[in-house]
Amino acid sequence: MIRKATAADVPAVLGLVRTLAEFERAPHEVTLTESQMVADLESGHFEAWLAWNPRGEALGLVLCHRRYSTWKGLTAHLEDLVVLESYRGHGLGRRLLEVAVAWAQSIGAQRLHWEVLDWNQPAIDFYEGLGADLNRDWIPCRLAGDALTQFTFRYPRLL
């Protein structure tokens, strides 16, 4: 069963996020707390869907949020797609991706965007098999942690 996540599901959502971070070799990067995630969910900053087994265990997650493109207008971002390792290869990942596509269509998004690690060949094969364009011409950039919080402004801040 797949259903939209509620505040009560945040422990399961964050648990799967931590599982993904372990897989991506970056468990120390997850600093988000359950209370912050609940606040962000309730504020509409993201939407998430969980796949459950009949025993009530969360098996997979897809988490999305809105983005804006100055070339296309409203777009959608798939932040995380994770299926517990023992449940991979049975169509659950595709079903969760279908939920993300349906959500993107429902909000009128002009595209659905996500990233995949260059060493995660099974995921690359999965996405390419679905017809996704893996754009290797663009390099993702980010300011995070101290680089963001301690950024040095050269000009007076406008905000």
Could you list the active site residues? Answer: 127
Q: Which two tokens stand for residue 131?
A: 């017809």
**Contact indicator for 105, 138 with CB cutoff of 8 Å:** no
Q: Which residue has the tokens 């000009």?
A: 155
Contact between 104 and 76 under an 8 Å Cβ cutoff? The reply is yes
CA distance 42 to 117: 29
- Give the CA count within 13 Å in the CB-facing half-sphere of 93: 19
Query: 82 with 44: CB under 8 angstroms?
Result: no
| Residue 76 Cα distances to 63, 64, 71, 124, angstroms | 11, 7, 14, 19
Half-sphere exposure of 15 (CA within 13 A, CB side): 11
